[in-house]
C-alpha cells in the first residue's frame, strides 16, 4: 500500500476507508502464519485494519475496524500506552469494531489473529497514533450527590452536569453521557449554556427507580483541541412519589404521597401589587432544606423603603428568586384565608417542621393561581418546558434509558 495512503485520517475520510476495507480487504500488514501446517490448498485468512498502519492524527472518537477475509477472527486487542479499547465481534466472526474513545496523544497497537477454515492462524499487527490535545475539560459539578442533595431524591429531580470549560462539540459530549435505570425511562439531555447540560425524563421519574449516570468522557472531543480528561459515574435512587399542589386562590397545600393525600396545609402566598411580590406559578422543585434561613428584601438595600432582613425557620427553597415554603408564625391568622407574604409560601411552625422532615430534594411543589409564571431557568424550573421545548436544546434528542 503506497505511502500516500498513510498519515492523518479525519471524519468522512475514515468512514470511506472503513467501507472500503469491509468490502474488499487487501493483503494483511505484517502477517505471518502461526498455526500447524496441513492447511491444504486453502489460503491463509487475510486481515485488514482501519485506521491504516502507522496512521497519525487519528480522531479519538474514530472506530477501529478489523475485518477478516477467508476466515474468522480469533482475537483482537487494541492497546495504547495509557489505555486499551474494548470491542464487539460480529455474529459471523468476520468483523470487530471498537467501543469507547481513545485518548488524545497516544499510540495504539492493534493485534489481530484470524484462522482459515482448517484452523491455520494468521497474526496481523498494525499501529496508529491519535491527535494531540491542546487542553482538557472535566466535570466541575454533578448533581444529585451525597452532600448537597442526598442520594435518595424526589420524582422531579434532574441530573445536572457543569463542565469547567465551554463545550463546542455538544454532540460528541452528549452521546457519551449514558443513563441506566432499574425501570425503563424515556428522557433527554438539555443544554442550558455551553458549560451546563441537564437530563430529565419526559414525565416524572417512576417512584423507587435506581439510576446510574456514566460520563464516558476521557478522550472525548469537546471542541477544537479540547478533549475530556476523565470518566465519572454517579448513582442515586428516586424515593417515594410525593407531589405537593397549592393554590393561591384556595390558600391551601395538598401533599400526596404515592397518590394518597397525607397532609392538608393552610398557606398564605405572595400579596401581589408589585410584580416581585407575586408567588410564581408553575412546577417548582425542592432545592434545599434549611433549618434556618436569613431573608432580605429582593432588590432593596439597607435604608431604602421596604427593606427588611429577618431570620426564618424550617425552610424549603423552591426557586432562585427567593421563594421558600417556610414557617411564618406572624401570618398564621391569614393562612388558609388570604395572601400576605412578599412571595414566599407561609405555613404554620408545626406544618413547617412536618414539611421539612417529609420533603426530599427534587420533590415537585406545584403552585397555581398567580399571573407570574416560574421561568424554566429560575432555580430548577425544568418542568416549565413541555417535552417539545425541552428537546429543542438537546443535541441527540430523546432516548430510552439502558437497563441497570
Which active-site residues does the annotation give? 326, 344
Strand ranges (E), 116-209: 121-130, 135-137, 139-143, 152-153, 159-163, 177-181, 186-193, 196-201
- Is residue 90 classed as helix, strand or coil in its secondary structure? coil
- Is residue 100 classed as helix, strand or coil in its secondary structure? coil
Residue with cell 395538598: 254
Tally of CA atoms within 13 A in the half-sphere of 326 that contains its CB = 27
368: its cell numbers: 397555581
DSSP string covering 201-261: ESSPPPTT-EEEEEE--TT-EEETTEEE---EEEEEEE---EEEEEETTTTEEEEEETTEE
From the list 358, 356, 376, 364, the residue with the least C-alpha distance to 286 is 364
Residue with cell 479499547: 85
Let me know: does 188 contact 199? Beta carbons within 8 Å: yes
From the list 300, 350, 359, the residue with the least C-alpha distance to 324 is 359
**Whether residue 144 has a cis bond before it, omega within 30° of 0:** yes
Let me know: does 131 contact 223? Beta carbons within 8 Å: no
Let me know: does 122 contact 28? Beta carbons within 8 Å: yes
User: CA 103 to CA 110: how far, in whole Å?
Assistant: 15
Amino acid at each position: 500500500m503506497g505511502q500516500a495512503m498513510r498519515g492523518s485520517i479525519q471524519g468522512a475520510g475514515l468512514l470511506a476507508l472503513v467501507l472500503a476495507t469491509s468490502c474488499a480487504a487487501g493483503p494483511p500488514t505484517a502477517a505471518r502464519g502461526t498455526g500447524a501446517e496441513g492447511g491444504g490448498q486453502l489460503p491463509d485468512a487475510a486481515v485488514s485494519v482501519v485506521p491504516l498502519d502507522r496512521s497519525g492524527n487519528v480522531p479519538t472518537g474514530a472506530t477501529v475496524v478489523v475485518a477478516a477475509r477467508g476466515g474468522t477472527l480469533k482475537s483482537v486487542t487494541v492497546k495504547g500506552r495509557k489505555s486499551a479499547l474494548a470491542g464487539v465481534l460480529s455474529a459471523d466472526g468476520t468483523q470487530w469494531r471498537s467501543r469507547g474513545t481513545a485518548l488524545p496523544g497516544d499510540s495504539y497497537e492493534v493485534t489481530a489473529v484470524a484462522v482459515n477454515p482448517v484452523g491455520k492462524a494468521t497474526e496481523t499487527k498494525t499501529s496508529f497514533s491519535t491527535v494531540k490535545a491542546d487542553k482538557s475539560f472535566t466535570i466541575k459539578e454533578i448533581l444529585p450527590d451525597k452532600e448537597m442533595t442526598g442520594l435518595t431524591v424526589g420524582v422531579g429531580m434532574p441530573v445536572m452536569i457543569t463542565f469547567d470549560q465551554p463545550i463546542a462539540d455538544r454532540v460528541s459530549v452528549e452521546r457519551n453521557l449514558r443513563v441506566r435505570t432499574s425501570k425503563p425511562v424515556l428522557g433527554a439531555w438539555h443544554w442550558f449554556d455551553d458549560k451546563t447540560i441537564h437530563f430529565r425524563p419526559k414525565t416524572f421519574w417512576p417512584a423507587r427507580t435506581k439510576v446510574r449516570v456514566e460520563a464516558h468522557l476521557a478522550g472525548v472531543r469537546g471542541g477544537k483541541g479540547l478533549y475530556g480528561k476523565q470518566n465519572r459515574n454517579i448513582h442515586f435512587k428516586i424515593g417515594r412519589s410525593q407531589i405537593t399542589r397549592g393554590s393561591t386562590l384556595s390558600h391551601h397545600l395538598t401533599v400526596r404521597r404515592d397518590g394518597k393525600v397525607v397532609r392538608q396545609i393552610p398557606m398564605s402566598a405572595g400579596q401581589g401589587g408589585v410584580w416581585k411580590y407575586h408567588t410564581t406559578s408553575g412546577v417548582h422543585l425542592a432545592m434545599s432544606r434549611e433549618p434556618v434561613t436569613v431573608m432580605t428584601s429582593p432588590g432593596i438595600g439597607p435604608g431604602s423603603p421596604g427593606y427588611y432582613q429577618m431570620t426564618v425557620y424550617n425552610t424549603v427553597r423552591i426557586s432562585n428568586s427567593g421563594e421558600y415554603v417556610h414557617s411564618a408564625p406572624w401570618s398564621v391568622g391569614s393562612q388558609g384565608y388570604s395572601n400576605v407574604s412578599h412571595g414566599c409560601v407561609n405555613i404554620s411552625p408545626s406544618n413547617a417542621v412536618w414539611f421539612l422532615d417529609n420533603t426530599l430534594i427534587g420533590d415537585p411543589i406545584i403552585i397555581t393561581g398567580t399571573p407570574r409564571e416560574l421561568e424554566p431557568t429560575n432555580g430548577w424550573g425544568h418542568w416549565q418546558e413541555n417535552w417539545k421545548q425541552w428537546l429543542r436544546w438537546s443535541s441527540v434528542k430523546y432516548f430510552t434509558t439502558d437497563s441497570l
